[in-house]
Amino acid sequence: MHRDLARAISSVENGIVELPAALARLAHLGHVPPAHHAEVIGITGPPGAGKSTLVDRLIEGIRAGGESVAVIAVDPSSPFTQGAVLGDRVRMQRHAGDNGVFIRSMASREGGGGLAPATRDAVRLAEAAGFDVVIVETVGVGQIELEVVAVADQIVVVTVPALGDSVQTIKAGLTEIADIFVVNMADRPGANRTALDLKHMVREGQRDIPVLQTVAQDGTGVADLLAAILSRRGGSEVNAVRAVRFEVVRRARDRAVIAALASLDSPDGSAVLDRVRARELSRNDAIDALLAIYGGPVHAH
């Protein structure tokens, strides 16, 4: 199963095989149980928050409960090779011999929202391979790192004490998507204060979100986190609506970008750009003219 899934993800990620064909192959190999739906858990938060160690502990707890788990760990890309910089497989090597655990690192490449472009497909493939739980670990900070919404049934936002404005960073964007907040490395000074700030923030947002403290290094608090995750299992209707809304906006944005680029490359668009080069048209007038060709709103400057 692991080899088939790894090949399927690589083929889709590299554009060799389309997702439907990869899913069909897994089905042919008998990896698609009828009406199977994996619980997809997004783990996000700033770099250095200990997310991978926390995921490693969650794997341990999920396996102790008898369920299988796939981890899709999205890492920052190397600017030279476009490969994953961090080594999640090495970090979680103790699970390598467990047939109920699959771990795959994916480089974020050109993905701007904390996810690799093929992450959604990898989640679908892991689900098709029959895994009970799929964990998506993403490098998320700030408002733009929110694409995990599109794939996860529930989202755990992880932070740590003494990150300066970390709570303000969370408040800027991640509050709306969080289902559980975790203050990891809670044995450090300031952990209680950070948790208290998060609780105040949750109350202000009028949302019922647990704020937990963990020390992933020794497993403290991880059982409570896993219990909170399991208690929310199957209650993902709100998350599903949120994911659909996000995906519709994302696809509409992508289509708008493609249409705008096409208008720039059109004969009329090229003619406008030629006038800019010849200094016959100001930049602002050119922008308005190009937006008129594209058909989008013209902004009065």
Neighbours of 264 (CB within 10 A): 15
Tokens 């209707």 sit on residue:
237
pLDDT in tens, 170-226: 655 566 778 899 999 999 999 999 899 888 888 887 778 899 999 999 999 999 999
Q: Which stretches does DSSP call E strand in the chain?
A: 39-44, 69-75, 101-107, 133-137, 154-159, 180-183, 211-213
Cα–Cα distance, 253 to 292 (Å, whole number): 18
pLDDT for the residue 113: 46
Query: Across 38-42, 84-88, 113-117, 144-148, which has the greatest mean pLDDT?
Result: 38-42
pLDDT in tens, 25-49: 887 777 565 567 889 999 988 888 8
pLDDT of residue 299: 54
pLDDT for residue 168: 59
Q: Is the pLDDT of residue 87 over 50?
A: no
- The winner for highest mean pLDDT among 57-71, 159-173, 193-207 is 57-71
Q: pLDDT band for position 109 (50/70/90)?
A: low
Instruction: Work out the pLDDT band at 165, boundaries 50, 70, 90.
Output: low
Which residue, among 181, 149, 185, 150, has the nearest Cα to 167 in the 3D structure?
A: 181
Q: What is the pTM of this model?
A: 0.77
Q: Is the pLDDT of residue 79 over 50?
A: no
Cα 129 from chain centre: 20
Residue 73 has phi, psi (to 5 degrees) of -100, 115
- Residue 218's pLDDT is 94
What are the two backbone dihedrals, phi and then psi, of residue 57, each rounded to the nearest 5 degrees? -70, -40
